[in-house]
Structure 1
Amino acid sequence: MKSAVETLDPTKVKLTVEVEYDELKPSIDHAYKHIAEQVSVPGFRKGKVPARIIDQRVGRGAVLEHAINESLSGFYRQAVSETDIRPLGQPDVQVVKVPELETEGGELHFTAEVEVRPEVELPELSSIKVAVDDVEVTDDDVDGRLDSLRERFGTLVGVDRPAAEGDFVVIDLKATVGDDEVDNVSGVSYQIGSGNMLEGLDEALAGLSAGETTTFVAPLAGGEHEGQDASITVVATAVKQRDLPEIDDDFAQLASEFDTIDELKADLREQAAGVKQSNQAVQARDLLLEELTKSEVPLPAGVIEAEVVRHLEGEGRLEDDEHRAEVTEQTQVALKNQIVLDILAEKLEIKVAQNELLDYLVNASRQYGMDPNTFIKTIDENGQIPAMVGEVARSKALAVALRQVEVVDGEGKAVDLSEFIGSDEDDAAVEAAGTAAVEGADSEVVESDAAESEAAESEAAESDAVETDKA
């Protein structure tokens, strides 16, 4: 098979592929076999109809069409591999020449136009310097954590006064749209200031005493009448305040393993420092990504439009132009980041070991509230494992890149992020451990480099999208 690539623009190429008859012959033989199993010819058993009879009854053209349709996606993927392009979208395939109908000979020629990953020159990592916030734990940080802990051990006590910010109010609530009652709930406990129920509810409840009623208008947040203004009638049946325990040694012993409040505060200070150090790593990662994406990155318009349409169709908002603009911008940013990180992962020769992928999948299963084995099996059956490998490779590429970047605090002092981004020695240990079997996954080989995962990620779309126009 011969394949050549022509660059049409920075994000689109045209593949020209020539397949010799001998390479197509196995698919032709399979086509004859398949058709023989489908047709009924007097004097022949199904599956035993000779090729010459099929040519007479069905036509050799139909056999060639069957063989071409069956083999085209494979020849396309082979051409993609040989030319080392990185498809991002679905190919537009045109068959321009087919083997001869009369004789067993001739070649299959086809072209495929496809949007691809553009070439982007990334800056040298050693030249990049990012400045993160200082780790400075204040007394307010400690007090905030202490108050949160006290709230966990606080008690609600009924009060005979108007409700105020932070109070808990037990309410009965009725919502009507026009003459229709659309909601009616009783005995709901709501904290004023939480803002997690209805727009305007905080203001309506503030100043209300037990037994009092008020009415206001608010847009509904869900249901059949979502977004419509409703008349809300709310009755405060009780007002309660949260009484917090005293800050003393008794509370330290109640809420922790420490004997004194000073020991508890010291531990809370360490916790706050740990969170701020973790935030430094997140901030450094985000700043590095900003530096890497400052480069001009041509984006494939077709890939963006397809993703935008998919997103809007899923929401039933295809005609919402304002939302379309928002989704388009978000898609452009996400695709730009993906392209840059894929190139970075390739440049750094990132490997994804089995246990790294497994950790990612297990964490993802928790986000969806699914059993990990069930989640992994579903992902595998849907052909999404390569996409998951790509996600892990991109995340790992940023962590590895951070080791080569200068990270400083507000005073210009070097910041050690090794606790959060690991080291090269850690990667070596992970890869060594990655040879262990992955429980629940059908694939025996999960380890993949960035280029392989990217190519596999688009394979399903490519194979489904090969539509042929016969010359």
Structure 2
Amino acid sequence: MKSAVETLNPTRVRLTVEVPFEELKPSLDAAYKKINQQVTVKGFRQGKIPARVIDQRFGRGAVLEEAVNDALPKFYTEAVNEGELNVLGQPEVDITELKDGELLAFTAEVDIRPALEIPDYSGIEVEVDAIEVSDEDVEKSVEQLRERFASTSAVERAAAEGDVVTIDLQAKVDGEVLEDGVAEGVSYTIGSGELLDGIDDAVTGLEAGGEATFTSELKGGSAAGKESEVTVKVTEVKAKELPALDDDFAQLASEFDTLDELKDDSRKRLAQMKKYDQATQAQEKVLEELLKLVEVPIPEKLLADEIETRKHNLVNHQLGQMGLDLAKYLEIQGKSEEEFDAETKEQAEKGIKTQFVLDELVNKEKLNVSQEELTEHLMRRAQSSGMSPDQFAQAVVEGGQVPMLVGEVARGKALAVVVEAATVKDTNGEVVDLDDEDETAETVEAAESVEEATAEAAEAKDEQAEDETK
């Protein structure tokens, strides 16, 4: 077999392949055998029909077509490996010549990963928020804990802000009660903002048995986004009683003996959370700066497929579960279709670019993924999916998605390498040291950060294409 590679553009090539006819013999034999099992000829047992009889009765062309269809994937893969190409997606194959007994020639156009030059990234500098925990932050945290230990008691008076009311709701659109617009026995804290706009004003001042009607835009359900006439009836009013902020409360709500110890622990926890947020912010900003350094041509078909995949997932999964279509979603978001398309394209481009650049870094830095890192990442993904680790692992293996998970962790490690080389300062001008984090946790966190920017559908397609060429 002879093959040649012609570069059409930085992300697409044309393979020209010539195959001597003798190399088609295994596929020809397989074609005759397959046809033998599918047809009957009087005077011959099934499976024992001579090749010359098959040619006479069914035509040599049918046999050649079957043989070529069987052989093409093998010859294409050999040509890809010979050309050391990193292909994306499926090729467009055109048989240019087929001479019985002499030659098979074909061309195959296919997208490839572009060759990238990763420049020196050690000069990247980013600024992140400083870790500052104020007394107000601590007080807010303790107050939230205090709310969890609040008690309620029924009162015979008008409802006021902070009270917990039990209510019945009925929503109408265009004068018709919605099938999913009726709810009874709903518990609601006035002022929490957890239900419909306007409900706080409607129930404030009502006693048990009181009723009011107000207009509000529905946030979910079959009529999400539409103006609705909502009738609310208060069936019970309860006053909320918060425990006193003292040492007794600290002992009730925590393992600490005093309120001061509880506040000190809250301050430490808040600082840890801000440190995690700071590390995440550093990863995101460093990634943004890294992408600015590298020129990445993107295959047009890959980009079009990724845009379509993102739209499909939004419309058929996310919006479908909310009872919305794309038009209603855009209306709620206050966006035009053109703006939505532009944003989707930008996100898709960034996802593909992120994947290409970090994959190149994985190769450049010769990064490997350990079993421990993969297991840790798998467990975190399982937790976020709501599945048990065993269930998630089984789904990953059965779906052939292990290479995708390995790729996610490897890209996370590549990003961690760049973050380590970069200069990260906080808003106070102090250099931020991110090296004292647990190494495995850092890798997994970086993988999750990369995962948000990377197009998952594109990843799956790329991994599949890579597997096919190996």
Alignment TM-score, normalising by the size of structure 2: 0.82
Alignment correspondent of 1:149? 145
Residues 31 and 373 of structure 1: CA distance in aligned 2, closer, same or farther (over 3 Å): farther
Alignment correspondent of 2:164? 168
Query: 1:61-89 CA distances to partner (integer Å, 9 max, x unpaired)?
Result: 22222232233334333333333333334
Alignment correspondent of 1:28? 28
Residues 194 and 59 of structure 1: CA distance in aligned 2, closer, same or farther (over 3 Å): farther
Alignment correspondent of 1:230? 228
**For the Cα contact (< 8 Å) 2:86–2:113, is it kept in 1?**
yes
Alignment correspondent of 1:256? 254
Alignment correspondent of 2:82? 82
Determine if the alignment matches structure 1 residue 335 to structure 2 residue 331: no
Question: 1:288: Cα distance to partner?
Answer: 0.8
Alignment correspondent of 2:237? 239
Question: 1:162: Cα distance to partner?
Answer: 4.7
Question: 1:253: Cα distance to partner?
Answer: 1.4
Aligned partner letter, 1:306: D
Determine if the alignment matches structure 1 residue 123 to structure 2 residue 112: no
Give distance in 1, aligned partners of 2:268 and 2:238. 34
**For the Cα contact (< 8 Å) 1:384–1:457, is it kept in 2?**
no
Determine if the alignment matches structure 1 residue 114 to structure 2 residue 113: no
Question: 1:135: Cα distance to partner?
Answer: 1.8
Residues 66 and 460 of structure 1: CA distance in aligned 2, closer, same or farther (over 3 Å): farther
Other structure's SS at 2:118 match = coil
Give distance in 1, aligned partners of 2:462 and 2:249. 58
Other structure's SS at 2:400 match = coil
- Structure 1 stretch 312-321 or stretch 55-64: which is displaced more? 312-321
Question: 1:289: Cα distance to partner?
Answer: 0.4
Other structure's SS at 1:49 match = coil
Question: 1:241: Cα distance to partner?
Answer: 4.1
Question: Identity of counterpart residues, as a percentage?
Answer: 48
5+ residue gaps, structure 1, are: 428-451, 464-471
Determine if the alignment matches structure 1 residue 458 to structure 2 residue 459: no
Other structure's SS at 1:94 match = strand
Give distance in 1, aligned partners of 2:65 and 2:276. 59
What RMSD in Å do the two structures reach over aligned CA positions? 3.0
Alignment correspondent of 1:406? 423
**For the Cα contact (< 8 Å) 1:390–1:457, is it kept in 2?**
no
Give distance in 2, aligned partners of 1:200 and 1:74. 67
**For the Cα contact (< 8 Å) 2:124–2:290, is it kept in 1?**
no
Other structure's SS at 1:88 match = strand
Alignment correspondent of 2:319? none
Determine if the alignment matches structure 1 residue 306 to structure 2 residue 305: yes
Give distance in 1, aligned partners of 2:234 and 2:108. 68
Judging by fraction of residues, say which structure has more helix: 2
Residues 17 and 453 of structure 1: CA distance in aligned 2, closer, same or farther (over 3 Å): farther
Alignment correspondent of 2:451? none
**For the Cα contact (< 8 Å) 2:88–2:466, is it kept in 1?**
no
Residues 217 and 80 of structure 1: CA distance in aligned 2, closer, same or farther (over 3 Å): farther
5+ residue gaps, structure 2, are: 317-324, 331-336, 444-458
Residues 39 and 232 of structure 1: CA distance in aligned 2, closer, same or farther (over 3 Å): same
Other structure's SS at 1:415 match = coil
**For the Cα contact (< 8 Å) 1:387–1:457, is it kept in 2?**
no
Aligned partner letter, 2:120: E
Question: 1:389: Cα distance to partner?
Answer: 2.0
Question: 1:286: Cα distance to partner?
Answer: 0.6
Alignment correspondent of 1:290? 288
Alignment correspondent of 2:185? 187
Residues 324 and 256 of structure 1: CA distance in aligned 2, closer, same or farther (over 3 Å): same
Alignment correspondent of 1:448? none
Summarize the alignment of residues 268-417 of structure 1 with structure 2, pairs less than 5 Å apart: 268-295=266-293, 296-314=295-313, 315=315, 321-322=337-338, 323-417=340-434
Residues 89 and 254 of structure 1: CA distance in aligned 2, closer, same or farther (over 3 Å): same
**For the Cα contact (< 8 Å) 1:123–1:292, is it kept in 2?**
no
**For the Cα contact (< 8 Å) 1:278–1:420, is it kept in 2?**
no
Determine if the alignment matches structure 1 residue 94 to structure 2 residue 90: no
Give distance in 1, aligned partners of 2:75 and 2:205. 74
Give distance in 2, aligned partners of 1:203 and 1:74. 72
Summarize the alignment of residues 440-451 of structure 1 with structure 2, pairs less than 5 Å apart: none
Query: 1:174-211 CA distances to partner (integer Å, 9 max, x unpaired)?
Result: 01223432121111012344444334434434454443
Other structure's SS at 1:95 match = strand
Other structure's SS at 1:18 match = strand
Aligned partner letter, 2:275: Q
Aligned partner letter, 2:260: D
Query: 1:390-446 CA distances to partner (integer Å, 9 max, x unpaired)?
Result: 2222122112322222223334433221243628xx99xxxxxxxxxxxxxxxxxxx
Residues 365 and 49 of structure 1: CA distance in aligned 2, closer, same or farther (over 3 Å): farther
Residues 87 and 165 of structure 1: CA distance in aligned 2, closer, same or farther (over 3 Å): farther
Alignment correspondent of 1:434? none
Question: 1:230: Cα distance to partner?
Answer: 2.3
Residues 298 and 202 of structure 1: CA distance in aligned 2, closer, same or farther (over 3 Å): farther
- Structure 1 stretch 274-283 or stretch 83-92: which is displaced more? 83-92
Give distance in 2, aligned partners of 1:46 and 1:27. 20
**For the Cα contact (< 8 Å) 2:114–2:296, is it kept in 1?**
yes
**For the Cα contact (< 8 Å) 1:86–1:455, is it kept in 2?**
no
Residues 58 and 378 of structure 1: CA distance in aligned 2, closer, same or farther (over 3 Å): farther
Give distance in 1, aligned partners of 2:23 and 2:197. 67
Alignment correspondent of 2:131? 135
Give distance in 1, aligned partners of 2:23 and 2:390. 41
Residues 312 and 144 of structure 1: CA distance in aligned 2, closer, same or farther (over 3 Å): same
